[in-house]
Amino acid sequence: MQINRMTLREIHMSLLAPFQTSFGKTQHRRILLVTVECDGVTGWGEVTAGETPGYSPETTDTARHILTDFLWPAVKGKEFATAADVDALMSHVRGHNMAKAGLETAVWDAEAKQKNVPLWRLLGGTQREIPCGVSIGIQTDHDALIAKIDKELAAGYQRIKIKIAPGRDVAACEAVRARFPEIRLMVDANSAYSLDDLPLLRQLDHFHLMMIEQPLDWDDIYAHALLQREIETPVCLDECIHALHHARAAIELGACRIINVKLGRVGGHRWARAIHDLTAQNAIPVWCGGMLESGIGRAHNIAMSTLPNFRLPGDVSASRRYWSEDIIEPAVEVTPQGTIRVPDGPGIGFTPKLDLIERLTVSRTVFE
Ligand code: OSB
Ligand code: MG
């Protein structure tokens, strides 16, 4: 294979409602889409970096810089056997996994289309229907939170994740558990706590949570190992795991019992699959995290989630929870049982709406 052309497009999309986490509030997304032409076939990828470096060091703008000045020169005109080999061409660039994943996942889509197979099959997926949960941002008050949860349960979602932050934690869990004693519930702290907060984190053990996601520093695996020894609730790592060796370290240290896999954070399908395989060998379940993606990133998340060790409901939910109109056809829909049926068409299995994408585009650069 060869990449003959790459197009970077920045599109602007507004979320239906602002999404609040411990690191900030997001409403207006600046999303970088990557298209590659490989031997005449077009593949699509999405850079999942945020607008600010609040979740990870990468942003929409750093990703554009790295793709333009380093990744495109590294891959252009190079011969490679399969999409799984693209990462090796970029390995001299340290970090910037979301920029790399935007490009790498686009090549996977192109390869699957060249072979006329669904991407999930090319990746080795086995599940035809994937279980879904939702991630609910910090709300203004408990009533608003309860109302949101009610709505998502009615739509069929199999588990509820609520964002927590200091001052918005134990009382929120109490309110939710008082109203919904039995639901599958988890919390995500996005690194808002430290080991000094151990007494408070211990209190969360009372709410039989499925897990607490990334309570401590974004890059501190060791601190999570110390925490996991002190609490009963399983720790799930998100921000900390940006390479296969981080997953290995976390497992060996006992820093988590569950891992959230995000394509952007780990550098694309090749590394996501490697982490998946390692966790499967170690009886650590994984699930697919979300980054408020457009339909392109969402479609890649669905394909990845078909791998067999994606055993827990992910943060991959219906397009209509985020956007008035998604940029793919059909939109992602969730069954009343809280699952997504995996599409059977070639590549990502969803068709980009080119006219809509054109209207949302604020800048476009073509590299040849
Ligand atoms: O920590 O999982 C996270 C969104 C942006 C950045 C980080 C996270 C999230 C979410 C939302 O939780 C998941 C989604 O619905 O896309
Ligand atoms: Mg998270």
**Which pLDDT score, from 0 to 100, does residue 47 have?**
98
Predicted confidence at residue 167, as pLDDT, reads 95
Q: How far, in Å, from the CA of 367 to the mean position of ligand 1?
A: 31
Measured CA angle at 82 (ends 6, 120), to 5 deg:
90
- 188 Cβ inside 6 Å of ligand 1: yes
- DSSP lists the bridge partners of residue 47 as 32
User: Which ligand neighbours the alpha carbon of 211 most closely?
Assistant: 2
Q: Say how many C-beta atoms besides its own lie within 10 A of residue 61's C-beta.
A: 14
114 Cα: distance to centroid of ligand 1 (angstroms): 32
State if residue 190 touches ligand 1 by the CB under 6 angstroms criterion: yes
Global pTM exceeds 0.75: yes
289 CB near ligand 1 (under 6 Å): yes
pLDDT at 195: 98
Query: Does ligand 1 have an atom closer than 6 angstroms to the CB of 314?
Result: no
Kindly state whether residues 80 and 211 are assigned to the same domain: no
Same domain, 310 and 253: yes
Q: What percent of the chain has pLDDT over 90?
A: 100
Q: Are residues 164 and 295 in the same domain?
A: yes
For the annotated catalytic residues, the residue numbers are 163, 262
Q: Which domain holds residue 11?
A: 3-116+353-367
**Residue 257: CATH number of its domain:** 3.20.20.120
- pLDDT digit string, tens, across residues 292-351: 999 999 999 999 999 999 999 999 999 999 999 999 999 999 999 999 999 999 999 999
At 17-56, the pLDDT tens digits run: 999 999 999 999 999 999 999 999 999 999 999 999 999 9
Q: Is 39 left (phi over 0), alpha (psi -120 to 50) or beta?
A: left
Same domain, 128 and 78: no
Atom of ligand 1 nearest to the CA of 163: 12
Q: How far is the CA of 292 from the centre of ligand 1 (A)?
A: 6
Q: How far is the CA of 181 from the centre of ligand 1 (A)?
A: 24
CA distance 235 to 244: 18
CB of 290 shorter than 6 A to ligand 1:
yes
Q: Answer yes or no: do 43 and 60 share one domain.
A: yes
How many domains does the chain divide into? 2
Query: Which CATH number covers residue 57?
Result: 3.30.390.10
Q: What is the pLDDT of residue 210?
A: 98
Q: Report whether 204 contacts 166 (CB < 8 A).
A: no
Q: What pLDDT was estimated at residue 74? A: 98
What is the per-residue pLDDT across 211-240, written as a single tens digit (0 to 9) for each?
999 999 999 999 999 999 999 999 999 999
| Sheet of strand 258-261, all strands in order from the earlier edge strand to the far edge | 133-136, 159-163, 185-188, 212-213, 235-237, 258-261, 286-288
Average pLDDT over residues 137-142: 96
Q: Do residues 162 and 239 both lie within one domain?
A: yes
